Structures are given as structure tokens and as C-alpha cells.
Chain A
Amino acid sequence: MSLKDIAVKLDSGPVPGSSETTGLAVALLREVADHLNTVSQGGDRQVVELTNLPLSDGDLQLLEEKLGRGEVEARINAAGPTEVFETAYPGVWWVKYLGEDDRVITQQLEIGTVPMILEAHREDIQASARQFPSTFDELDPKQQ
């Protein structure tokens, strides 16, 4: 007899995340609307953290449905993959920080011109400014 031979009956008990919606998605959409107003009037970037909210799978589905997909999609490789897409509403971005197995570690809605993970950072640009001349120095006949 193996483990498989032991019948296990599980009724439809709760699993963390169900297809039902909780009303939280609507509250979040209102929050996004507020943030959009702020940003459209020149305000700072706003971030809505989705990971720690008790959102059901149904809530997330509703959010994705209502926000839709826009023009930009990007995949970033830094400390594992990160996926970014602009929603149908310009300036509202969905950012998914993923682990190696593409499992979502944390996800956020960012409201602003461009998500922070996409931007090249000043320190990195300064480092490339220092290193870049080496790409043509070695090709320069005067140097050889």
C-alpha cells in the first residue's frame, strides 16, 4: 500500500485566494483615480503596494480587467526578472517583481511617467560615463 491508496477527501474548503471579489479592488481603483489626479497636476510618483493586501484572486482579476493593457511591456533582468506593463491608462503602470521561478515576490501599481525600476539610475550612468571611453580608445590608431 502506498500513500496514493489512501483516499483523501477534501471538500471545497477555502484556499488563500478565491474567485470571489471582496470589494477591495473597487477601493483600490478609487485610490488609483486619486493618484492619477495628483500626478496629472505635476505631483510626485505614487505607488500602491498590492502584495500585503488581502486581495482574492477574483480581486486581482477584476483589477487587471479594469486597468487593461497599454502600449508598453518590458522585462527587466536585475536580481531576477521583473515585469512591467503600462495599463490602458497612460501613467498607470503594473510592476511585478518576480523570483527565479517567475513567482511574484511583490507587485505594485505605480502612477507616474515611468516606473522607477525602468529608469537608469544616476550612479549607474556615472559609472558608464567613466567606462565608456574604453570602447573606442582601443580602436583609436593614435593609441596603438
Chain B
Amino acid sequence: MKEHDLTLGEELRRQGISRRSFLKFCAGVASSMAIPAAMVPAMADSLAQARRQSVIMMAYQECTGCLESLTRSFAPTLENLIFNFVSLDFQHTLQAAAGDQAIEAIQTAMEENWGKYLLLVDGSIPLKDDGIYSVSHGQSHLDSLRELSEGAAAIVSIGTCASFGGVGAANPNPTGAVGVDQIITDKPILNVPGCPPMPEVMTGVLTSFLAFGALPEVDRLKRPKAFFADTIHDRCYRRTFYDQGKFAYSFDDEGARKGWCLYPLGCKGPITHNACATLKFNQGVSWPIQSGHGCIGCSEPDFWDKEGFYKPLSAGQWGTAEGIAIAAAAGVALGAASAVMSRRNQDKISGGK
């Protein structure tokens, strides 16, 4: 029997991995996605019934920081399981093959899984001069993306560059770089922005796709709501100081030493949607605000070009509409609203159970 014919449950059992591992994996994922814990057994069952998913991961105009982040997950023993659930058929940094051999690997994966493979894209795509500024194996990344998208079941844009253009598209955008969804419009696309994105989000997205047969619900910027519904500010452990009006005004004043709110130092937490405050980076060690630096808003479009990371929201371009309104709103009201939003989000995932 071919590998792809076995269910994940059967395949892992052959490797001596029991159902308990599925259960534990799903408990971890459910916790990070705010899926009710009572749904974990059903999720584990469904995942065990799924078939191994073919994944083609393309690196376009990028710095490899996203891959660095994705391969440094919060719980290696658990997260490594994901490599049993997917068949990573092409990833040019991780694979041994190179040159013609590597291109053959893409062709084979495409032919064998036409219409079914998941396309992961990392990096922006230059449009200017027919995309000549970013080329691999004689093919522009623009052509490559168009070709690969055709047979994909869905596309996941990893990182801010693939999602919104990112640093490649920063002013003056010499290569005419854009994100995937500005080129491909006829496929389900999900954005996992962040510079870098959080590995847990990727695991959550892949697991949802396998267990529930669809990409998770997304917001207006195509980001999975399970991770991007709340702002950094909503979940920040320094939030209480914002509510009390206790701020740091320079990086070495009393407020900074006492760990007060970094809003006046340019923190973009109030308008940045991401899960850093709860999931943290580097295996849960810390995250920017815990290290004493404001959020730079890296999971939002055009964050490079918003007048500087150290200007308070109320002073910069960020503060146009949403920013000032949210930053000025009473903390308590915002807290309550975000709780309702999270709850609604949770209901959608669980079908209201």
C-alpha cells in the first residue's frame, strides 16, 4: 500500500505512535486556537482518519526568517508530529535535491497531487518588468506562482512579505513587489503574516485543514481569526498599566524599569492583530514587549512605511482612524469587546458547541 493510501492513524501506528500522541497533539493545537478542550477527542479522531497532505513550499523574494521561525516551534516533541501529517514535497532550503532534480520534485508532486496539494508561499513576488527581479531556475517567481497555484487546493502565504508585500514592497518598492493574493484571485488563500510569523499558527492552520477539511475562518485581511482576532494590546500583560495611565516615556526612565505600558514609545499593540502576547516566541521564552520594546506591528500591511517604530500611534500615520480610536477608548470597554469577539470566534470554530 502506498503511503498516501493509509490514514494518518494507520501510518503512525505502524511507527509505534499511539492514539494518545494524536490526543496530546490536538490538545496543544486546540489550546493555541481557543478550540474548546471538549472537542479535542473528536479532533484527534478526525485527524487520525485524514490522509497525508502533500505540501509544496515555495520561497520567493524572502530572507528565510520565516522558515527559521517555523522550524523553531514551542514544543519540538509535539510539533515534529506535523511532519508525519504532511508530505513536504518541495522546500528548497530543507531538501537535499538541487537544480534539475529539485525542479523534477516539484513536477512530480504537482502531477501526483493535482488539485489537492497545499501551496505554501514565503516571500513577496515582484511584478515590475515581468517579474525579472526574482527568478529561480530560469523561471520568474511570478510565472512559478501562477503555474503552481493552478493545481493547488489552497494557498497559505507565510509571513508579511507573501501576505502583503512586506519589506520587498516597502517604499520605493523598486521591484514592484506584492503579496500572493494580489496576483492569484481564484483560490482559497490564507495569510499568516508576521515578521517572522508564529510557528504555532502554521501548525494550527495545517491541523485545521487536515482535521476539518478546510482552512480556518479568516478576517478581512485573510488572517485566521483564531490567532488574529485579538490585538496585542487586548492580551498584553502590561495592559493593566495602560488602564492605570502608567507609561514609560523613555527606554531608561522609571516607567521602563517598572515595566509600564510602552504606548508613548511607539508601541503598535493597540492596532496589531497577532497572538504573540499569549503564545510568545522561542519556545515560550519571551516576546518583544516582555523584553521591554514596543510592538512594531509586523503582522499588519505596510508596517515598514508608517513613519517609524518609536512614534506613538497618535502621532504617526498608524493613528489615522482605527489607531487613535482604539488607543483612546476606555480600556475596560475594549477588554469586554475583545472577550465577546474571542467568544464568537470560538463558537464559529466549534459550531457553537
Q: What residues of chain A have their CB less than 8 Å away from a CB belonging to chain B?
A: 9-16, 44-49, 51-52, 54, 76, 78-80, 82, 97, 99-100, 103, 105-106, 108, 116-117, 121, 123-124, 127
Contact = CB atoms under 8 A, between A and B. Distances in A.
B28 A47 contact: no
B31 interface: yes
Size range of the interface on B?
A: 35 or more
- Please classify the interface of chain B as helix (H, G, I), strand (E, B), loop, or mixed, using the class held by over half of its residues: helix
Interface string B1-30: 000000001000100011111011101101
B56 to A, nearest CB: 26
B18 A47 contact: no
A108 B27 contact: yes
A123 to B, nearest CB: 6
Contacts, number: 102
Contact of A124 (B18, B259, B278, B283): B18
B48 A99 contact: no
Interface string B218-260: 0000000000000000000110110000000000001001111
Contacts of A10: 257
Contact of A105 (B13, B74, B290): B74
10 contacts: A14-B238, A16-B237, A49-B30, A99-B74, A99-B75, A99-B77, A99-B283, A105-B28, A106-B28, A121-B19
A97 B28 contact: yes
Q: Which 9 residue pairs are nearest across A and B when measured between Cβ atoms?
A: A13-B259, A80-B77, A121-B19, A47-B37, A78-B20, A106-B31, A79-B21, A99-B75, A49-B37
A15 B76 CA distance: 25
B293 to A, nearest CB: 14
B65 interface: no
Contacts of B34: 52
